[in-house]
Structure 1
Amino acid sequence: MTDFKGESEFNQWANHFEEFYPTGSRAEAEFRFSRTAVVTARLWTTFIDETIRQATGQSRARWQTLSVLVFSKDPLATVELSHRMAVQWPTLVRILNELEADGLITREVNPDDRRSRMIAPTAAGRAVFNEVRQILDPTRAELLAGFEEEELRMAEAVLDRFFNLLVQRLERG
């Protein structure tokens, strides 16, 4: 399923690592944190994508779009949905076309801006989202069972801070 290796494997092949990032240095900690965040996100994405696709036939793009819509109280404009998902507008439109063709979302003219569309999940879209949740929630719970709730909240806080710093940097250009 994957070619990702664990940290001990990284230490075995990165035998010149300390020449670039001295052991115990701030630079080493920063490198290891960012590398771990990236590799973990890739591995989780690969794992959960395949698990959900095998069980439901839904791609990540489809079920993540539905999840943002289901979690939103009101219909969302396309541009707002694009921002919430951190995807480019043209990519999102292709996904929305597929979801609409399958009867999983509706797109209505935005009363505040007739050039824009308001997107909402249909009952069928909510059902697909719930089908995905039946796979996602227990899988995530099983994998994270060894962590205390406080550890999860602390990890989320650190990743949120990192995420917000990245967003600020991107907004500055």
Structure 2
Amino acid sequence: MSEQAQKNSGADQSRRLLRRRFSYRLVRLATQWRREIDLDLRQFDLTDATWRPLYYLRVLPAPVRQTDLARAMLVEAQSLVRLLDVLERRGLIHRDTDPDDRRSKLVTLTDAGVAMGETVLGVADGVAARFLEGVSDDALKECEAVFDQVWSGRGHDRASVEGSSTACRQLSPESDT
């Protein structure tokens, strides 16, 4: 093997290891972040499965089509139906038939759901403050730029990206009102 080929092989190996470490850390961090939110929300009788729809329903413009909510949450529509049944029985959401498409359901938060959604957002903000303590705004912006580049590139299910991208835009600073 030529010297140049060995350098290229070494660079390729380094790149693979760097990407592997990045991926591993990203997955671990996301898992731990959600676990912390989950632990903090247990006192409100919410689990990861039940607080996530409330979170998304609170940040997305109402009403939200059930299929769009599933897409934003990166879950199967059938799985979401069961979660929404639970939230509806608890009086946190209401589902109506979409007047533009009678096959679709529109999901809105009830007054109690809005209040619980605000609690979820507050807890999520608290976890973010704990996790990001000491991280500069410039570092966060740089990390966001990497996430945006990765998200808009390859390696994800394009069918789920449309709704997720909308959710990401809803969470951007420009959309906070």
TM-score range, shorter chain: 0.7 to 0.9
Match of 2:171 in 1: none
Give matches, 1:3-152, under 5 Å. Answer: 25-53=14-42, 55-152=43-140
- Contact kept? 1:106, 1:121, Cα under 8 Å: yes
Q: Please identify runs of 4+ aligned residues in structure 1 that moved more than 4 A.
A: 21-24
Let me know the Cα RMSD of the aligned residues: 2.1
Give ranges in structure 1 of 5+ residues lacking alignment. Answer: 1-20
Match of 1:163 among 151, 154, 166: 151
Q: Cα offset for 1:99?
A: 0.7
- Contact kept? 1:56, 1:132, Cα under 8 Å: no
Question: What is the CA deviation profile of residues 103-135 of structure 1, one whole-angstrom value per residue up to 9, with x for unaligned ones?
Answer: 111111111111111111111001111222333
Q: Cα offset for 1:24?
A: 7.8
- Give the 3 Å change call, closer, same or farther, for CA 31–108 of structure 1 in structure 2: same
Q: Distance in 2 between matches of 1:22 and 1:166?
A: 22
Which has the higher relative contact order, 1 or 2, with Cα contacts under 8 A spaced 6 or more apart?
2
Question: What is the CA deviation profile of residues 21-79 of structure 1, one whole-angstrom value per residue up to 9, with x for unaligned ones?
Answer: 989811121111111111111222222212221x3221122221012112122211111
Q: TM-score, normalised on structure 1?
A: 0.77
SS of structure 1 residue aligned to 2:155: helix
Match of 2:172 in 1: none
Stretch of structure 1 that moved more, 33-42 or 90-99 = 33-42
- Contact kept? 1:82, 1:92, Cα under 8 Å: yes
- Contact kept? 2:53, 2:73, Cα under 8 Å: yes
Give ranges in structure 2 of 5+ residues lacking alignment. Answer: 1-9, 160-177
SS of structure 1 residue aligned to 2:114: helix
Return the letter of the residue paired with 1:92: L
* Identity of matched residues, %: 33
